[in-house]
Every structure is written in C-alpha cells, then in structure tokens.
Amino acid sequence: MARGYRKLGRTSDQRKAMLRSLVTNLLYHGKIRTTEARAKEVRGIAEGLIALAIREKDNFDTVTVTAKVAKKDADGKRVKEEKDGKKVTVYEEIEKTIKKDKPSKLAARRQMIQVLYPVTEVPTGKGKKKGTKEIDLPAKLFDEIAPKYMNRNGGFTRIVKIGERKGDGAMEVIIELV
C-alpha cells in the first residue's frame, strides 16, 4: 500500500505548519538546512509554486490610474492648511502606471498566499521598528524567481546531503534553489 506523503511524526496541523514554514524560508532565503525526509516533502510544494509562478508570470495588464496623494514638504511631513478653523491635509492628484493581474494570475497569487507565511524583514541595529517592511513573497516568485527558471522544465531545487545529525543520527541535507 503506497501513501501519498510522509507523515514526519506530526499531527496534520503541525505537519502543514512546519512544511509551510520550510517552503516560505526556502523561497525567501534560497536555501535551508533540514532533514532528508522534510526536504523531499518541501521540494514538491516549492516546485509546484515555482511552476505556477512561471505559468502566470506575464499574465497582467498595465493600467494608468489617478491617485490622491498627500502633499509633503521637504522633511517628508504632510502639508496642512487652515479650512473653517480646522487643519486639513492637502492632497494632490498624480497619475501612476500599475500592473493589474488578470484573473488567473490573481488566483495563482491567492494559491501562493495559502501556502506561504507572511515575511517581515527587520533591519539590524538601532531603530529596528522603523525600518521593518513586509516582503511580498508571491511578487518575488513572479518577478525574480520565475524569470530565472523560464527555460527549465522542472527540477528547480537541489538536495545536497551533508551528513548525519549529531543528536539523533538523522540525515541532514541542504535544499536550495538551483
């Protein structure tokens, strides 16, 4: 009797959370160090996401929109003016060109969001909170990773064995994007 996947000694919710975390870290960092069994499970999920990104990479329209943006002074603070005794922020209209996903790319983006955890990048040093930013991993998949693998039919990851772990003797590997 053949099972479809490895259970990895976890309950289904723990296993799903662990695999999501591993896939997110693999795509964010480019490589991770883990056990062989986990790496083989992660490979299937990661390669599926990359294939999805390649398929939907160029599926968008460019649209010009007008947006109201708060006017800012030299210090980067909003400009305010008096109106009826109240201070009101001054807005100006600017035209922007944006990428608008077609329905199938939007669906692909949502499938990716189901698997990937949100990633927050925190800078090192003083004022850590100020420089934190949310990384859009689906956008990274579409814009950086997919173009790299356009002419490749699968095999986007590589598993390299690095020996047994000291504590329990589990085979450790490095899984990386090729």
In this predicted model, what pLDDT tens digit does every residue of 23-38 receive, in sequence order? 999 999 999 999 999 9
At residue 31, the pLDDT reads 94
- What whole-number distance in Å separates Cα of residue 154 and Cα of residue 111? 19
Q: Give mean pLDDT, residues 133-150.
A: 92
Q: Is the pLDDT of residue 176 over 90?
A: yes
DSSP 11-52: -HHHHHHHHHHHHHHHHHHSEEEEEHHHHHHHHHHHHHHHHH
- The structural domains of the chain, ordered by start, are 1-58+103-178 (3.90.1030.10), 60-101 (no CATH)
At residue 77, the pLDDT reads 82
The residue with greater pLDDT, 69 or 33, is: 33
At residue 43, the pLDDT reads 95
> Which residues have C-beta within 8 Å of that of residue 176, sequence separation ≥ 6?
26, 30, 31, 32, 157, 158, 160
Encode pLDDT of 94-106 as tens digits: 898 888 889 999 9
Residues facing residue 176 across a β-bridge = 31, 158
Q: Is the pLDDT of residue 112 over 90?
A: yes
> Which residues have C-beta within 8 Å of that of residue 67, sequence separation ≥ 6?
93, 94, 95, 96
- What whole-number distance in Å separates Cα of residue 101 and Cα of residue 160? 37
60 φ, ψ to 5°?
Answer: -150, 160
Q: Give mean pLDDT, residues 93-120.
A: 92
